[in-house]
Copies of this chain bind each other. A is one copy, B any other.
Amino acid sequence: MNHRPFHDHMMLISQLCPSDAYTQIIAQQGEKKPRRRRNKKNKGGENGASSEANKKRKLSVEQVNLLEQNFGNEHKLESERKDRLAMELGLDPRQVAVWFQNRRARWKNKKLEEEYSTLKKSHEATLLEKCHLESEVLKLKDQLSEAEKEIQRLLQSGDRVPSNSSSSSQSQSVEAMDPPFLGDFGVDGYDDDVFYVPETHYINGMEWINLYM
A residues at B contact (CB < 8 Å)? 3-7, 9, 12-15, 43, 46-54, 92-95, 109, 112-113, 115-116, 119-120, 122-123, 125-144, 146-151, 153-155, 157-158, 160-161, 163, 167-168, 170, 173-174, 177, 179-182, 185-187, 189-190, 194-209, 211-212
Contact = CB atoms under 8 A, between A and B. Distances in A.
A52 B5 CA distance: 10
A209 B203 CA distance: 15
Given A5-B94, A43-B3, A161-B154, A126 B123 contact: yes
Contact of A170 (B3, B53, B127, B143): B143
A205 B134 contact: yes
Contact of A138 (B143, B170, B200): B200
Contacts of A51: 6
B195 A205 contact: yes
Contacts of A50: 5-6
B138 A137 contact: no
A165 to B, nearest CB: 9
Among A141, A150, A167, A177: residue with most chain B CB under 10 A: A150
Nearest to A113: B112
A139 B207 contact: no
Contact of A6 (B13, B174, B179): B13
A202 to B, nearest CB: 4
Contacts of A163: 153-154, 157
B136 A196 contact: yes
A167 B181 contact: no
Given A127-B208, A130-B133, A158-B161, A139 B200 contact: yes
